[in-house]
Amino acid sequence: MVTDGHNHTKLFSVDAGQSIDELIDQAKKAGFKRIGITEHYEIDFPDDGLNWMFDLNDYTEAFNEWKKKAEPDIELLKGIEFGYQTHVAEEIDKTASSTPLDVVLLSVHLFNGEDFYVHRDCYKLPKKELHTQYMAKMAEMCEKCNNFDVAAHYDYINRYTDNLNNFVLYEDCPKEFDRFFEALITKEKALEINTKSIQKHRERGFTRDLPDPAILNRYKEMGGKYITLGSDSHFPGTFAVCFSDAIEYLKSLGIKETVYFKDHKPYFEAL
Ligand SMILES: [Zn+2]
Ligand SMILES: [Zn+2]
């Protein structure tokens, strides 16, 4: 059984609605042996009245309790999902290296400094321009930061679009994808396949839902070996969503294993 390496709980992630017990319960029922807890930590996030950060010592204390309680049925991996912005790159690296963690995810949740969950003006841009700018930021994130393990949801930009053809394709911005992959591969970091993206595509009626094969083929061709799977679950009922479809799909592209991170070291798991 593979690992679901990207999950949130309501104790530390302000937008989540599940407790650790609910999360562990879902994992047990689905037969998982290991899950990653990756709480949101957004340094200097635009003010939306919510608190996107938490006390790192409180997290360590709570996590140690959770871990004890979950064992031996489920192994918990301690992670954080940092929200990237250019001016917080150093702060992310500093925080990541001074906090005991198994896995660090980096994400781009903003476009031009704005949360596109709230400000949807970016969707007025032509698709290629939107995706080019977003992927350039993903590439920059992996070039500037060093203390991370996984680049999360490269396709997050189309999460709130009304255009159901706004699917992220390699051909939208090959240069930016190549820059992104080059940084990941050189630094031996992983590319995440976010299965919540697949689920959202389906739920919203996108014309397609699984990741563009050209993206995965190019990553492999450039030498990319590390792929993680994450459901990005925030609420009960969403743990490991679309995992079986994602696994079958990866296998159909000749990808035979994924990884999880423990103490920042990658461990392969056969699909
Ligand atoms: Zn995210
Ligand atoms: Zn997340």
Q: How many angstroms does the Cα of residue 230 sit away from the middle of ligand 2?
A: 9
CA of 223 to the centre of ligand 1 (A): 25
The residues of the chain scoring below 50 in pLDDT are none
Q: What is the Å distance from ligand 1's center to 168 Cα?
A: 16
Locus of tokens 């635009």: 46
How far does residue 91's CA lie from ligand 2's centre (Å)? 19
Please tell me the predicted confidence (pLDDT) of residue 1: 87
What's the 191 CA to ligand 1 centre distance in angstroms?
13
Q: What is the CATH number of domain 20-270?
A: 3.20.20.140
φ/ψ bin of 89: left (φ > 0), alpha (ψ from -120 to 50), beta (otherwise):
alpha
Q: Sort 153 into a burial class: Cβ within 10 Å, 0-12 / 13-18 / 19+.
A: buried
d(CA 180, CA 138) in angstroms, rounded, equals 6
Got the DSSP string for 134-164? HHHHHHHHHHH--S-SEE--TTGGGTT-S-T
Tell me which ligand sits closest to the C-alpha of residue 106. 1
Residues 192 and 151: beta-carbon distance below 8 Å: yes
Residue 144 and residue 197: Cα distance in Å, rounded?
25
| Rounded distance from Cα 106 to ligand 1 centre (Å) | 8
Question: C-alpha dihedral over 40, 43, 48, 54, to 10 degrees?
Answer: 50
Ligand 2 centre to CA of 232 (Å) is 5
Q: In whole angstroms, give the CA distance from residue 239 to residue 1.
A: 14
Token pair recorded at residue 152: 């999360």
Residues 36, 3: Cα–Cα separation, whole Å: 7
Residue 53 alpha carbon to ligand 2 centre in Å: 14
Measured CA distances, 245 to 117, 186, 215, 240, 242 (Å)? 27, 29, 17, 11, 5
Alpha-carbon distance of 143 to 198, in angstroms, equals 27
Å from CA of 224 to ligand 1 middle: 22
Tell me, what's the pLDDT at 40? 98
Q: How far apart are CA 52 and CA 54, in angstroms?
A: 7
pLDDT score for 207: 86
